[in-house]
Structure 1
């Protein structure tokens, strides 16, 4: 017996020494982490001044959140704004002893050690407290090989202890909810609430709160957008936990458990959500403004991390209606367009496709890398699975880069802007058919020939110069110096027919527009255009037919003068920028031309002439096809070879400009019937107006009426819509010269006029 005791002593000593050595190693290991040998541990000063990147938010005129600019989608929310059932759901599910520990729950850790490690019971939970999770959310985890889990857990425990020393329990909950990652790359409860339920966190109901808390266990696995059934089951587990720990009564639990999972999912990425083209333009402008500003630390503001607030003029509801109208129209127009081209479509001609392919950026890049033509074509024709845009639903298909280029060549595109004429405030902005696949903005970036939408400027200059609106002009073609012979579209006109300016404008007669320009003088027309806010135009007579190039936004600002007593405006869409604390960094005001571009009389004459365009001219389908009874003036436009279709709609309180066409200037519409502005662009405006007519909220626009023209203006426009040359006029009069209103006095006067006016 004594021999055994003697033999055991060395073993006990060895065991004790080993244990002490192990404790020493563990202690040194812990101290090495504490002292930062495995990575910096934030000190109290840093933890007291936590900085997290916050997304910049963009708001409509009504305060609706329409988009964000971010690297991490995060917005802060105050603890006081969090509903109690959200807090209860988190504590019941993630850390029921949250108020009883100081960052580390020893009882939970002991439970995990015994049940999970010794008894292999995975249902015991993870032992991680809300404060430990906050530490992980704030500083992430690094890779230390096999020691990663140990090192990271110890680092988080040190940080958690320091957080508990600095912050109250309520402040820790607030920090947690503002940093925790949710599904779909969303950070913080405010961003998650707005993304999945389109509501601020303060208004989350019980079921919504439980759904979001439930995703924290595994944000992808329980993503309510991707796996709604799985997410609903997890939500009910959260509700069960709330009942278990007394946060819910059995009755409330039973009621909440039966509720369906109802999402109102919102996308705020660059390509998704409402008004992506508008938000893209706003971002450019805001970044330019931020380049001129410095924060309190003397550093430039960052649109992606500083949590700014950008307020705009956009009307959220009108924007939704405009996007719907564009989608309805363009999806149908695309079908007619492809059907009209048939097998002769440019994108089906291999020679043309190869030419476009060789002009592409990807081809040039490969060529610059030294690849031969055959090698480049081989690379561009290798097929792989890719998603292609289609109006009937995007498709995953096996296609090459060359196939993709050919596919996208066929699509028509559109740009539509609606603004308030008195201020230039932009109410809706649709820059294309799909921002993800067509990012070129056809409102602000695209500059195309404006076609017949320039003709009202010519007639405005004429009326302003004193030319009687009832002056008659012959429709006959004339060849001008240089061999230029403007022609009319459509059926051939009777060369002996004469029209007053109202009829000529409403029916968009090219030959008369040019004659009016020569009558009033090219320089007068150019000056009139400049006063109306048009950019500098080329001094060529062909501008009468709209050969000048402009963006839809520029055209809208100029046309606003007709509804704003002669004063042009610049499109205006950002009202102010604030920092995350609510301090105003910049404010902006409308830019309205001080000088009226024309008189009140001219204004009334032109409105009446453009109302005639809608009532019985080229835009008459607004009345007979779409049944619109609103007070509308307007002008259609179609450019040479049917490359561009335009429509400008004017109401007393809204000016709308729409362009439709292809991105490749070489591809036009196959015929005037389908490509004319009345068919390609006008329907988008018509559908928008119909939708607005159905919504009483827009009565301020839809029910507005132009002021009645003065008796003087009514007399000025009191003329026959057409007049054909009689026998003597056909015999002696050159039909390409204007006929005055005074000439309508009977045969004797007409004969007398023939010999007294040099054939005019």
Structure 2
């Protein structure tokens, strides 16, 4: 028995050795199996991996940027709002925050952190993961969304390791960090650090503070969870964790950490969606321009550019500050004007419409219904018209526009249409006449709710702002002077002349007649009978020919005398271009909006070439400008001077920013159409021409009286407020000097010695402007 036990003891050492060998065989087999799995993964057995070329040139969706004349990005076109930055644009504290929080040994490993991996395996991830920055980048770049299946997730992890080691061979550490910052989605349409810095803090990455950098780095853990707009408390806590990590690894001191933790997040949310930000209407124009340009200008390989992913840079003429001032002026004045408009509609049973029948009202509403997005969408779904119409009567939750911000409410789509039609609209464009560069473009009061661009697409009757074209034609043809006089009496152009079927006898607003008046006085006070006499002398055809050379589409303008009083429909875009001809000494320059287009590498793909045309002599242009200066000196534009009407109820309610108290030379013209449907003001200084239109969505939407419904009250204040802001900004260099006078001026423009009107003739009241 004892011998048998002794024999078993002798066998034990061999058994131990055998077990040890078995262990190492199994261990070695596992290692070989793992290596074999990695090898198979690298061969693409478990799914394709990016090849060497794609690693060198990873595919990205890069946003196209719209860059203003003063170097600001005012908008983007994108599927992913991504604009890449270089490593030297990343502040040190941003990079340090990332390394301290995500991968403290980043500069020591080659894509896979061995220590971190062993720790993660030993403690089953309870003491942190082992994913390096390079691995996280590989997941962002090349792998699909993380799978919930453990086996598939394991294979995906293997792919990430393989790709991470390749990335480390191909790129420097700085390049890897840069790519990671450029690729990460910070939510709220902020893809990449450049977009995130602008959207959350309205600044470039290089301008971020340490606290701001820590907040953004904290979002790498889970941007959806740590969304500063939805979870500010959680984001603050996560930011403080990042600050603690920075202190732990010596990037900041404990004192700095504690002081930064006490700071608020300081979010300055500046969304870059297509409906938000500045110059929304202009950006939509730019998008259409780009789409048309792309059709005619393929890439060298024959494929088409894509404005949503090719990272183009579109340099435009818009000045970001002037655009901001223009939008602020429109907002400030229209919000106040709307209050008065709503007051006047309280007792109007057909509000917001006036002077139309119930049948005409139904026609307007039904037309709007059929043009709505809701109608189009339901039509696409194959719905019958009766069903669609019925849906417009049912109340549903919706968000509607107000000057104090969007309102969440419940109303029927048809009531929503009527509600939105109750708001007066506005449009504005500002341009440098010598170059054609458009500096500001406001197509409406709110792009989100009112997509139709009234700067270029919209065409409305222009009232008395058309009269300068008649005067300019008379000056050009007959060498007339602003000091020449004509009788202010009722005037009839007989039937048969200028294609008239019946006699035409225009009337002066207010019924004011009598005496002899100068052309300067007549234009300043918008006297219709004088304009009628002038167009009778020159004929309507030459006037139409003149404005055609000035860039106005005249196909729909009839050659009849009544156009002299502004019956034609013309856009703000065309009017500003035409008036700029006067300010530019008779030379028309086609408005320019897109200066050049570059690809993502800076190669110039398009360069604008200005289009100019000599239209009238410099003398005719200067004399016309002199006439228009009279409008702001003694006519309907005198509201721009002094504060003589500061106690008027009209001014107290409507005139935003009043008194304007401009002292410099200003040429301009107000305009008001029949029933106060449209109010205009065209204002010029030597290096800036600006046109403003105000009116309803429909011509039936208007004020009930001329007091508030004229151009001098509806449109002029926007120009005044805008110009005050421009003049306050010395960097803009908006002219305060005189218009350039021709060297050999032969027409007299100084009418100071002439008695402006017969003592018995009453001056046309300012509130009458037709």
- For normalisation by structure 1, the TM-score amounts to 0.86
Among 738, 743, 746, the alignment partner of 1:705 is 738
Shift of 1:636: 0.9
Say if 2:616 is the partner of 1:597: yes
Q: Cα deviation per residue 1:307-348 (whole Å; 9 max; x = unaligned)?
A: 122212222211111111110011111121122122334458
Query: Could you tell me how far apart the structure 2 residues matched to 1:108 and 1:55 are?
Result: 36
Q: What residue is the counterpart of 2:56 in the other structure? A: 48
Query: Could you tell me how far apart the structure 1 residues matched to 2:675 and 2:504 are?
Result: 16
Please identify, of 30-39 and 686-695, the stretch whose mean Cα deviation from structure 2 is larger: 30-39
Among 679, 694, 709, the alignment partner of 2:713 is 679
Among 177, 186, 194, the alignment partner of 1:190 is 194
RMSD: 3.3
Among 559, 565, 579, the alignment partner of 1:559 is 579
Among 272, 277, 288, the alignment partner of 1:273 is 277
Query: Could you tell me how far apart the structure 2 residues matched to 1:568 and 1:234 are?
Result: 59
1:156-235 to 2 correspondences below 5 Å: 156-235=160-239
Q: What residue is the counterpart of 2:765 in the other structure? A: none
Query: Could you tell me how far apart the structure 1 residues matched to 2:468 and 2:678 are?
Result: 18
Among 440, 457, 463, the alignment partner of 2:452 is 440
Query: Could you tell me how far apart the structure 2 residues matched to 1:654 and 1:648 are?
Result: 11
Please identify, of 231-240 and 429-438, the stretch whose mean Cα deviation from structure 2 is larger: 231-240
Say if 2:502 is the partner of 1:483: yes
Say if 2:724 is the partner of 1:721: no
**Do 2:596 and 2:607's aligned partners in 1 also have CA atoms closer than 8 Å?**
yes
Please identify, of 67-76 and 296-305, the stretch whose mean Cα deviation from structure 2 is larger: 296-305
Q: What residue is the counterpart of 2:75 in the other structure? A: 67
1:436-585 to 2 correspondences below 5 Å: 436-466=448-478, 467-469=480-482, 470-476=484-490, 478=492, 480-481=494-495, 482-483=501-502, 485-488=504-507, 490-494=509-513, 496-536=514-554, 537-585=557-605
**Do 1:69 and 1:304's aligned partners in 2 also have CA atoms closer than 8 Å?**
yes
**Do 1:425 and 1:590's aligned partners in 2 also have CA atoms closer than 8 Å?**
no
Q: Cα deviation per residue 1:603-625 (whole Å; 9 max; x = unaligned)?
A: 33322221121122122222245
Shift of 1:351: 4.1
Pair 1:621–1:169, CA change in 2 (3 A): same
Q: Cα deviation per residue 1:209-248 (whole Å; 9 max; x = unaligned)?
A: 2121111112133233444443333222111101101222
Query: Could you tell me how far apart the structure 2 residues matched to 1:151 and 1:399 are?
Result: 53
Q: What residue is the counterpart of 2:498 in the other structure? A: none
**Do 2:143 and 2:160's aligned partners in 1 also have CA atoms closer than 8 Å?**
no
Q: Cα deviation per residue 1:527-555 (whole Å; 9 max; x = unaligned)?
A: 33334343334312121112222211111
Q: What residue is the counterpart of 1:303 in the other structure? A: 307
Shift of 1:35: 3.7
Pair 1:311–1:346, CA change in 2 (3 A): same
Query: Could you tell me how far apart the structure 1 residues matched to 2:508 and 2:267 are?
Result: 52
Q: What residue is the counterpart of 1:621 in the other structure? A: 639
- For normalisation by structure 2, the TM-score amounts to 0.85
Shift of 1:506: 1.1
Query: Could you tell me how far apart the structure 2 residues matched to 1:696 and 1:367 are?
Result: 54
Query: Could you tell me how far apart the structure 1 residues matched to 2:147 and 2:268 are?
Result: 41
Among 637, 660, 663, the alignment partner of 2:694 is 660
Pair 1:30–1:269, CA change in 2 (3 A): same
**Do 1:346 and 1:352's aligned partners in 2 also have CA atoms closer than 8 Å?**
no
Q: Cα deviation per residue 1:449-497 (whole Å; 9 max; x = unaligned)?
A: 2221110010111122224542213332536423354544642224x44
Q: 3-state SS of the aligned residue for 1:182?
A: coil
Q: 3-state SS of the aligned residue for 1:66?
A: strand
Shift of 1:44: 2.6
Q: What residue is the counterpart of 2:288 in the other structure? A: 284
Pair 1:314–1:142, CA change in 2 (3 A): closer
Task: Structure 1: state its 5+ residue gaps.
Answer: 727-760
Query: Could you tell me how far apart the structure 1 residues matched to 2:240 and 2:376 are?
Result: 57
Pair 1:370–1:249, CA change in 2 (3 A): closer
Among 418, 421, 424, the alignment partner of 1:412 is 424
Shift of 1:81: 3.1
Pair 1:408–1:486, CA change in 2 (3 A): farther
Q: What residue is the counterpart of 1:82 in the other structure? A: 90
Q: What residue is the counterpart of 1:344 in the other structure? A: 349
Q: Cα deviation per residue 1:183-213 (whole Å; 9 max; x = unaligned)?
A: 3232222222232233332333322221211
Please identify, of 467-476 and 650-659, the stretch whose mean Cα deviation from structure 2 is larger: 467-476
Shift of 1:369: 6.9
